[in-house]
Amino acid sequence: MLVEYTKQIQEAAKRLLKEKKVDCVLGYRQGTIPLVDAPYFAYTEEEVDNLIWSSFCTKNLANFLIKRTDRVAVIAQGCVSRSIVGLINENQVKRENVYILGVWSPGMVDRFKVMERVGGREILEAKEEGDKIIVIGEGFEEVIPKKEVLRQNCLTCVHRNAVLYDEFIGEKGEETGGGNRDMVAAPWEKLSIDERWEKFTETFKDCIRCYACRNACPLCYCAECFVDESKPQWCGKTQDEADVYTFHILRAFHCAGRCVDCGACESACPMGIKMRVLTSKIEKDIRQMYDGYEPGMELGAVPPLSVYRPNDPEEFITP
């Protein structure tokens, strides 16, 4: 838990509830197991005492705003605020219904990286102290520099401060995570087609189609997802490779020009599948092909793939 932040968030939340500016405050509560803190709605000042902020807040809270009709204050770091902007632009969330408590994110922890560090042994407790994570299990205690276990998307993040907010909590911090996103966004680009296919199948072979990735994503709000449609049935329901791969490829394309690389999909996956290899490549392509466009940076911006213009770039279309 980041104590100072937690205190400031609780103060702001109490004030907003007391002043009746909002009906509830959306943040995180401490998880019942280590490394997983839980999205949480606080409706009363007492409930605000449960709100925390930590390096284990790995979901995208914007996702929980969709379809709500009450006024919600939401804690949002860079990516989450960008998702909110995206949802406002796509008419899924009303600007006047959200009160954004902007924060700076020091980066969130990838629990699979932590599990790897301790060789898969059961972790009974995880704490954070400054830039270190301390994990404790039966007969071991490991101190891990946070930087070494950050989520990949947090390492290459370039907008760590909220971009849209009604109130900023704490000081603004360094915008970037330090990593070079262009270097890592498309790890397969240099490979031959065969090697790419091999990497692709290796990445997705363990997918159990639980759809946690899809359901954790603030972009996947379609009333009926293409994998659920039956007339026509775009995608089979089985565990056959073709069905599993179709799901992932199509989902990634649906996120083109909209994905803010928040990493919620990867963090939600119980199998530890790194499906961002698809969306981060698309994110890079969009940036490079559409004049540096980055989704969620501006209210009113039009996502590049949602409109057609006769002079759209098309050099990448191979006949």
β pairing state of 123-129 and 132-137: antiparallel
Q: Does residue 36 belong to the site contacting other proteins (CB under 8 A)?
A: yes
Binding partner of residue 38 among other proteins, ligand SF4, none, CB cut-off 5 to 8 Å per kind: other proteins
Binding partner of residue 122 among other proteins, ligand SF4, none, CB cut-off 5 to 8 Å per kind: other proteins
Among residues 208, 222, 299, 302, the one that binds other proteins under rule CB under 8 A: 208
Q: Does residue 255 belong to the site contacting ligand SF4 (CB under 6 A)?
A: yes
Alpha carbon distance 188, 236 (integer Å): 27
Contact 199, 213 (CB under 8 A): no
Binding partner of residue 260 among other proteins, ligand SF4, none, CB cut-off 5 to 8 Å per kind: ligand SF4
Alpha carbon distance 23, 9 (integer Å): 16
Q: Does residue 132 belong to the site contacting other proteins (CB under 8 A)?
A: no
* 259 conformational bin, left if phi > 0, alpha if psi -120 to 50, beta if neither: beta
Q: Does residue 270 belong to the site contacting other proteins (CB under 8 A)?
A: yes
Among residues 14, 59, 82, 287, the one that binds other proteins under rule CB under 8 A: 59
121-129's contacts with Cβ under 8 Å and 24+ in sequence apart are 123/34, 123/35, 124/34, 125/34, 126/34, 126/35, 126/56, 127/1, 128/1, 128/2, 128/54, 128/55
Extract the tokens encoding 214: 């899809």
Q: Does residue 211 belong to the site contacting ligand SF4 (CB under 6 A)?
A: yes
Q: Does residue 312 belong to the site contacting other proteins (CB under 8 A)?
A: no
Smallest gap, in angstroms, from Cβ of residue 171 to other proteins? 29
Nearer to ligand SF4, 144 or 277 (CB): 277
Binding partner of residue 275 among ligand SF4, other proteins, none, CB cut-off 5 to 8 Å per kind: ligand SF4
Count Cα neighbours of 43 within 13 Å in the Cβ-side half-sphere.
Answer: 1
Nearer to ligand SF4, 17 or 282 (CB): 282
Q: Does residue 275 belong to the site contacting ligand SF4 (CB under 6 A)?
A: yes
Peptide bond into 145 cis (omega under 30): no
Q: Does residue 247 belong to the site contacting other proteins (CB under 8 A)?
A: no
The distance of Cα 314 from the centroid of its chain, to the nearest Å, equals 30
Nearer to ligand SF4, 14 or 248 (CB): 248
10-18's contacts with Cβ under 8 Å and 24+ in sequence apart are 10/48, 10/49, 10/51, 12/73, 12/101, 12/167, 12/169, 13/42, 13/48, 13/51, 13/73, 13/101, 14/45, 14/48, 16/73, 16/99, 17/42, 17/43, 17/44, 17/45, 17/48, 18/45
Smallest gap, in angstroms, from Cβ of residue 10 to ligand SF4? 25
Binding mask 92-121 for other proteins (x = CB under 8 A): --------------------x--xx---x-
Nearer to ligand SF4, 48 or 256 (CB): 256
Binding partner of residue 176 among ligand SF4, other proteins, none, CB cut-off 5 to 8 Å per kind: none
Residue type for position 33? I
161: DSSP letter: B
Nearer to other proteins, 32 or 311 (CB): 32
In the complex, the residues that contact other proteins under the rule CB under 8 A are: 31-33, 36-41, 59, 63-64, 112, 115-116, 120, 122, 124, 138, 208-212, 214-216, 228, 236-240, 267-270, 272
